Amino acid sequence: MVTLLIPRFMSILLVCLSSLSAIQGSYDQAYAKEILGSANRDRDWLVSIRRKIHENPELRFEEHNTSALIRSELDKLGISYTYPLAKTGLVAQIGSGSPPVVALRADMDALPLQELVEWEHKSKNRGKMHGCGHDAHTTMLLGAAKLLNQRKDNLKGTVRLIFQPAEEGGAGASHMIKEGALGDSEAIFGMHVSYTAATGSIETLPGPVLAAVSFFEAKIVGKGGHAAEPHTSVDPVLAASFTMLALQQLISREVDPLESQVLSVTYVRGGTASNIIPSYVEIGGTLRSLTTEGLHQLQHRVKEVIEGQAAVHRCKAYIDMREEDMPPYPACVNDETLHRHVDRVGRILLGPENVKVANKVMAGEDFAFYQELIPGVMLSIGIRNETVGSIHSPHSPHFFLDEDVLPVGAALHTALAEIYLNDHQHAIGL
């Protein structure tokens, strides 16, 4: 019986492998040309959408006009969506409605920053600017919605397109998750523009890629008095000075040097006169770690050190980890299997020479909240173009975008989802 089954099993296996090779082989230069060609034909539309968003930047949870613009375009395309989630967010859905389900995500919020780039489509909202490329992220995902909708009859599953508010400090992803944005998604992809990578290229990396991040502030309270009589005071300036030095030793003396953590005290406030010892001093800053566990340990020790140093100098410390207004973000960790998928799709679409290894960065990204629940990849998509001035880092008032990235990103989103569904539909069929 066993002898009879072996030839039959081998025949089935050969058929399956042959089918798999046919599916993988179908994604070639012709496929890339088709997807990129469709995206490039939409370039003018993409640019117009991005410029409308750029001219009217909105801060976290205030993205009402941005959301309305997205919904208007989805309505024109006949794409269904759920709204609102997390106040201004929405989720569009394209495909069969059946598994497998893959998610694509873009963030919509701007920065509290005054744009210093003088051009026709400069921000009209004073003190607000799309200085991190979220206008491009939103536009590229909207472009993918259009492409996927054109190709929906060929989708072997379902794509959920997540337009998310409040990435910049508001943990919008966590709010979207609580309100059901992921649905039955089994994988998720996101991309962020990179000013160090050339336009037309991408960068990806498995494992930790962006840091877990939190913020802190402390009020060290002593007893004020005249500087000529320091013995009658309890000096919070001295206590704050020792506290800041002690905090720096947490990284240099308590963290494994092979791990990556950052502790930066970014401000000190106290006193207004040169002859008066103030009654209190305020300090604050940020904590970062490439592991979420490392961030939790660092938060714990920061509290202990601040309280201990204050006590040594006869002061009291009141510490706020700012979890209400600046929620801590977990580390962004890219799934190994999905990383290989991104690498493969990038090579098909853009060519092997345009797929690079990403660098780990100690910035935070609330995309990590999605990755805590399902496998995901956050990749970088290049925008560097010295000719047009796309050379400045995010969060710079001089940040400027090479708009040639828009069709590239739309096509890449489309291919990542389409090929993922095709591959995994085949697996389900087995």
Residues annotated as binding site for Mn(2+)?
A: 132, 134, 168, 192, 395
Q: How far is CA 310 from CA 214, 249, 264, 270, 318, in A?
A: 22, 16, 19, 15, 10
Task: Please list, residue by residue across 327-347, b when 16 or more beta carbons sit within 10 angstroms of its beta carbon and e when fewer do.
Answer: bbbbbbbbbeebbebbbbbbb
DSSP 390: B
| Spatial separation of the C-alpha atoms in residues 156 and 313, rounded to whole Å | 67
Burial of residue 242 (number of CB atoms within 10 Å: 0-12, 13-18, 19+)? middle
Annotated binding site: 132, 134, 168, 192, 395
| Spatial separation of the C-alpha atoms in residues 93 and 152, rounded to whole Å | 10
Residue from 181, 127, 104 nearest 413 by CA: 104
- Report, in this order, helix, strand and coil percent for the chain, each rounded to 5: 40, 25, 35
| Spatial separation of the C-alpha atoms in residues 177 and 91, rounded to whole Å | 11
- Rounded to the nearest 5 degrees, what angle is found at the Cα of 98, between the Cα atoms of 95 and 99? 110
